[in-house]
Amino acid sequence: AQSAGGIGGGGSSGGGGYRVQRQAANIRERRRMLRSDLAPTRAADRPTPVKIINSAFDELRGHVPTFPYEKRLSKIDTLRLAIAYIALLREVLSADCDPLTYVQRCLSGERTPERAEWNTSGQYNA
């Protein structure tokens, strides 16, 4: 039977102090293992520059209009299409009519700009 001192309370048996030391050592080891287990996870979860750029391209792909049947755009195609789309939006905003009318006139051939930066078909691009 143990004395009122508890596990390490200096009971009549001499093994009480050893048991407390072992338990303390086990607790320290568990804490150390938890820290070492978490460290690689934190590093793996940290976004790398490549992950940041790839997620930015994924977000940009979501804002650039494409056809549903098109395959996933490459990074260079995404950039080219984004540039063309921005040029189209700039042209639409500076036009003397509403956006829908402007696009309809362009599609029907009524408006033929000297250089349509936004035309991605290659017909007007140099």
Please indicate, yes or no, if residue 90 is contained in any of the structural domains: yes
pLDDT at position 113 is 57
User: Could you tell me if 103 and 92 are in contact, meaning their C-beta atoms sit under 8 angstroms apart?
Assistant: yes
Number of domains in the chain: 2
**Are 60 and 101 found together in one domain?**
yes
| Residue 40 sits in the same domain as residue 62 | no
Tens digit of pLDDT per residue, the chain (126 long)? 444 444 444 445 556 788 888 888 888 888 888 876 666 666 677 888 999 999 999 999 999 988 888 788 899 999 999 999 999 889 888 888 888 888 888 888 887 655 556 666 654 444
CATH code: domain of residue 100: 4.10.280
| Whether residues 58 and 84 fall in one domain | yes
**Domain extent at residue 94:** 49-108
DSSP characters for 64-106?
Answer: S---TTSPPPPHHHHHHHHHHHHHHHHHHHHSSS-HHHHHHHH
- The whole-angstrom separation of Cα 41 and Cα 87 is 43
Please tell me whether the overall predicted TM-score, pTM, comes out greater than 0.85 for this model.
Answer: no
